[in-house]
Amino acid sequence: MNTPKVSSDKMNAVRQSGRAVASSGLRLAWPQNVLRNLGEWSVVLVRTPRVRTPQVPAGTIAAILVTLIVMVAAMFLIDTAASAWARSLPRWFIDAFEQITNFGLGGWFLFPFGFIILCLAAVMSPALPRFSQDVIAMLAARFGFLFLAVGVPGLFVTIVKRLIGRARPYVGSYDDPFAFIPFIWRPEYASMPSGHATNATAAAIAIGAIWPRTRPAMWLYALVIMFSRVVVLAHHPSDVIAGALVGVGGALLVRRWFAARRLVFRPGDLRAGPGPSFRRIKAVARQVCFGP
């Protein structure tokens, strides 16, 4: 009479042991799964372009040239006066912008975008239905674009500004906008271009490209960050203009790179294609968490 009970207990123990082994296997497979998916997505990014994107409009080239002229003119006409104005501001005003300017750090965008990409790489699996795999792939492409559109210009500026070696406004007893020590690789000689301006404008372009309705708020954010860099005497106005040029140009180039590979953007007009709806994202999330 006790045999069925013993068998049942043994079966429960086997099931629990099996779940533990499966759970352990999943934990062991998780890093490999992330690396495999990241590798596959990276290969897609560097594949040969499938289509040709439109030529850069003449108006865009003209705008770049005008921006460069304005930047050089600012070095001669505005930079010194702007630093003198910033030094005359009340302490409370400067302190407020010391806090605001921190929101121009690239980490505010790169960390959450990178975390989302890692999470998507962790849950992507051939075992999922094709529909779920497509939704995850579309999300990965979008957040991959956002990450690279902010990260690539930011990395470029981080290197170039130290090669240029322009002194920040607070270096020395008075502001000399033409104080340069190239290749010095010191923070106080890393004024041009402004990294914060690069991050803010790149984010405005990238996020606005995916979600057009955010453009007014994102550009307001970018202008406030650029203004803050002058207020806190971290940069000259010409540094901010140079940083904005790199941020905008870099993000637009990354967008063209994606469009040429039919990722996120339509190659014809470079506009973002339709993404997965929130309802579909919730359905996939529920499937990933609780199974079909």
Using 50, 70 and 90 to split pLDDT, how confident is the model at 292?
A: low
Query: CA 292 to CA 282: how far, in whole Å?
Result: 13
Nearest to 152 by CA among 96, 93, 110: 110
Mean pLDDT of 55-80: 94
pTM of the model: 0.88
Domain boundaries, the chain: 30-290
Nearest to 104 by CA among 251, 252, 234, 236: 234
pLDDT surpasses 60 at 26: no
pLDDT of amino acid 52: 85
At CA 192, angle to CA 187 and CA 197, rounded to 5? 100
pLDDT surpasses 90 at 33: no
- Residue 289, class by beta-carbon neighbours within 10 Å (0-12 exposed, 13-18 middle, 19+ buried)? exposed
At CA 48, angle to CA 44 and CA 155, rounded to 5? 65
pLDDT surpasses 60 at 114: yes
pLDDT of amino acid 29: 60
